[in-house]
Amino acid sequence: MNKSIITVVGKDTVGIIAKVCTYLADNQVNVEDISQTIVQDYFNMMMIVDTGRSSKPYSEMVTDLERIGDEIGVRIRCQREDIFEKMHRI
Amino acid sequence: MINIFEVNETNKMIEQEKLDVRTITLGISLLDCGDSDLNSLNHNIYDKITRLAKDLVSTGKEIELEYGIPIVNKRISVTPVALIAGKACTSPDDFVSIARTLDRAAQDMGVNFIGGYSAIVSKGMTHTDENLIRSIPKALSTTERVCSSVNIGSTKTGINMDAVKLMGQIVKETAEATKENNSLGCAKLVVFCNAPDDNPFMAGAFHGVSEADAVINVGVSGPGVVKHALEGVRGEDFEVLCETVKKTAFKVTRVGQLVAQAASVRLGIPFGIVDLSLAPTPSVGDSVAEILEEMGLESVGAPGTTAALALLNDQVKKGGVMASSFVGGLSGAFIPVSEDQGMIDAVNRGSLTIEKLEAMTCVCSVGLDMIAIPGNTPASTISGIIADEAAIGMINQKTTAVRLIPVVGKDVGDTVEFGGLLGYAPVQPVNKFSCSDFINRGGRIPAPIHSFRN
């Protein structure tokens, strides 16, 4: 199990989730949970994913997702879950 | 399970409030590098540093990318050089060759600073220690990345006033030797009392003799995060204020702990400590001064500043201690003038003086840091300021330090640019009355009565 958090923030547009999910499926990354809100007209999505079965080097995945975000005009971050777990759970 | 609000809070800290890990510092023991031949000694030092640090920068970058947290600096500290070079170095110039080796190793490893060109002379000075100290001006003026520190006193030993006198002269000589660059050499020279063995922050980092062969120490930061949290509790009482700082410090430190452990595992080098620090940078929103002002001060230096800093420092430690399994280094808020836009503004406004900064050093981490003073300040006056700071450290059983820059050719009213994280500073006035008869007495100030605890 290798959990990561993918966040997408930006102006709402058609096909954001589709683009991200296609990329994840192509790279054997399993999506475990998706939640989203709209904050001040901004699309705000978080995915919990498992990268354990992916053969893609982690750093490449981070930069690939960033690039996909740039293409559709949103900010996509992929971070290991530990940074959030450590900060918000004792 | 982590929710979207928690994720957003963390990422907002990173993207908008400048949360970062200030440094991963790899401490390396050079105790096994000793040799009576200077060339062999230099060779051994270069070999050991480059062997252990070869993956430091790439590992740091990997962690940055995977966790999405900036790691501003990757640095190296080594055993105080005076301890390993006694047999091979018989003159100050011999020592300079070691400084060049350290500089070359740092450059080849891709780190911007390497600390440990140091001597521990808190009680007495060996001939070797003195040679190293006398080589500092040349060493710092002929290298780029080497940082130097000298420990001239401790609560256990008292203050070595001969060393204090000498360091006043060395600070002046270093300023002169680097006058083409606004006396920048002095920004890489720290005079300590009670120097810790495991400090990850430059310019005072060295790898103490109580340490293992190699160790990973991490310094966290996050003044912007604390300032932002305090904006949410304006007008509330001190209990709420303190709780807010404490909780924020906990969160900030947890990130440091995570990064330290990840670096330790990936490099195969034991984790040492997390230094619980609020380290400012010159960029707006990354300032310790702004935190104090957010607490209710019109400008740093106003009455109440020392109390505000004391509570900040204490709450940072209380929150941080629980967040990390091992805490060490300097741990506390830093108040370097040139590296903190809020401090610079306060000096320019006339609300912050060296005397007030001295009072503030009684209750926070370290001491008079990155303060530009007139280039014509006498060496004995600098020694006097060092002695005052050392006395505060010795009596209060805390680390204190002095990093003054007597900028050659500059006077009160001028501003000096150091560049990068070192920032810029207005030249501050220094008390004009002399202390030379006091400094010239020589000898030692005995250890204070409360050091005899056995």
The DSSP code sequence of B199-213 is: --SSSS----TTS-S
Looking at residue A1, its pLDDT comes to 65
- Per-residue pLDDT tens for B85-109? 999 999 999 999 999 999 999 999 9
One CATH from 1.20.120.1200, 3.40.50.300, 3.30.70.260, 3.40.50.620 for A3-88: 3.30.70.260
Sequence spans of domains, chain B:
25-193, 218-451
Nearest-CB residue to A77 (from B2, B68, B257): B68
Edge-first strand order for the sheet with B153-154 is B153-154, B158-160, B444-445
Report the relative pairing of strands B368-374 and B332-333 from DSSP bridges.
Answer: unpaired
- Per-residue pLDDT tens for B341-383? 999 999 999 999 999 999 999 999 889 999 999 999 999 999 9
Nearest-CB residue to B255 (from A44, A48, A87): A87
* CA separation, residue B429 to residues B15, B93, B340, B371 (Å): 38, 34, 19, 10
Top-confidence residue, B132 or A38: B132
Share of residues in chain B with pLDDT > 90 (%): 94
Q: Which of B24, B19, B12 is nearest to B111 (CA)?
A: B24
| Domains B25-193 and B218-451 belong to one CATH topology | yes
Give the closest-approach CA distance of A59 to chain B in angstroms. 6
| pLDDT of B177 strictly over 80 | yes
Q: How many CB atoms lie within 10 A of CB B395?
A: 16
Looking at residue B418, its pLDDT comes to 92
One CATH from 3.20.70.20, 1.10.760.10, 3.40.50.1370, 3.90.1170.50 for B25-193: 3.20.70.20
Interface residues of chain A, partner chain B, Cβ below 8 Å:
5, 7, 33, 35-37, 44, 46, 48, 58-59, 62-63, 77-89
pLDDT, mean of residues B405-414:
96
| pLDDT of B453 strictly over 90 | no
Give the closest-approach CA distance of A7 to chain B in angstroms. 8
**Region of B284 on the Ramachandran plot (φ > 0 left; ψ -120 to 50 alpha; else beta):** beta
Ordered alpha helix ranges (H), B368-431 = 379-396
pLDDT, mean of residues A20-35:
94
Where is average pLDDT lowest: B15-24, B407-416, B437-446? Answer: B15-24
- Per-residue pLDDT tens for A55-69? 999 999 999 999 999
Nearest-CB residue to A86 (from B9, B62, B254): B254
pTM comes to 0.94
Helix axes A58-72, A16-26, angle to 10 degrees: 160
Name the fold adopted by B218-451.
Answer: Anaerobic Ribonucleotide-triphosphate Reductase Large Chain (3.20.70)
> In the structure, what pLDDT confidence band is assigned to residue A37 with cuts at 50, 70 and 90?
confident
Distance (Å, whole) CA B44 – CA B95:
15
Give the closest-approach CA distance of B142 to chain A in angstroms. 38
